[in-house]
Structure 1
Amino acid sequence: MAMTEITVIDSATFRRVLGHYPTGVCVVTAIDQGAPVAMVVGSFTSVSLDPPLVAFFPAKSSTSWPLIERAGKFCVNVLGSDQRLLCQQLSGKGEDRFSGVTHRDSANGSPILDGVVAWIDCTLDAVHDAGDHYIAVGRVMALEAETPGKPLLFFQGGYGEFNPLV
């Protein structure tokens, strides 16, 4: 087998090229020491039907991820296209990020945000190392499509919505 040359990809090029792929916007929520925590992610995917597994990819630099990991359970909230301001609020810094954010508890005890398109309630099944991120795998315990509407998308540095072709 011939040796192949390793190409160095700079992060700006990587972001620019992958920015051409739209992603949905989710908020992963949990309760840590009695207080709600949240992390906005654009890297969420289904993994397996049997057993039902999903995954998201927290940065190793995230300050919210250790709290969610410690909780051992979380809820993935799929934001609607009308929830851009909520996304910005929950992605900010500070302890008052949940100020005015209405939610209810899932059966697992994680926050389900009001007005989301769908939610997926999980227990943490596995965490894998992946470069400057982790791969967090959740075992789905319950899920529901909540509100009819369009999901919030992130594309080329901005937010938008999906308009299906007829």
Structure 2
Amino acid sequence: MRGFASSVTIVTSVDELGHPSGMAATAVIPVSMDPPSMLVAVNQSASLFPVLERSQRFCVNILPLSQQHIVKAFSSSDMRNQRFLADEWQRTPDGLLYLASAHGSVICVCEKSVLYGTHSLYVGRVTSVIAGSLSDPLVWFNGAALALQS
């Protein structure tokens, strides 16, 4: 799977008290335009898993190259307490966190989930999209972040 190039995203959710949880993810795909929907794959050992299971809401933040530093905190459990410290995090009206400096943030309500192996696949109906700046995307390939060459 390391040879499969993917956009880098941060998937976030909140628990019943509004405490945020999140993870870096490349297993994220658009599913359909009618209805608009996204799929995210979450390892059942990830700290986001129990939060997402209860809340059934998530936000997919599509990262630009300039946000590469954020990925490290969301990829390491040792840095969990540093994940939401950046000023760029804002809340949607219903309390989900989104990254204001992202290419875009896609807000979803889970319509279906499937357990498969070590992961849960969540299909979310898109309820809103927050457009950001269009700059160079952050791409993950062979275990490292890369810039696309034009």
Q: Is the 8 A contact 2:73 2:82 kept in 1?
A: no
Q: Distance in 1 between matches of 2:4 and 2:122?
A: 21
Q: Distance in 1 between matches of 2:83 and 2:95?
A: 19
TM normalised by structure 2 equals: 0.90
Larger Rg: 1
Of structures 1 and 2, the one with the larger relative CO (CA 8 A, separation 6+) is 2
* Structure 1 residue 51: Cα displacement: 0.9
Please, which of 39, 55, 69 is the counterpart of residue 85 of structure 1? Answer: 69
* 1:24 aligned onto 2:7: yes
Aligned to 1:142: 128
1:95 alignment partner, SS class: helix
Which is strand-richer, 1 or 2? 2
Gap runs ≥5 in structure 2 = none
2:58 alignment partner, SS class: strand
Task: Give CA-to-partner distance per residue, 1:54-106, whole Å, 9 cap, x none.
Answer: 10111122122111221221110001111111111222223342223431112
- CA pair 145-163 structure 1, distance change in 2 beyond 3 A: farther
**Number of equivalenced pairs:** 147
Gap runs ≥5 in structure 1 = 1-17
Amino acid at match of 1:91: S
1:99 alignment partner, SS class: coil
Q: How does 1:6-17 map to 2 (within 5 A)?
A: none
**Percent identical across equivalent pairs?**
27
TM normalised by structure 1 equals: 0.82
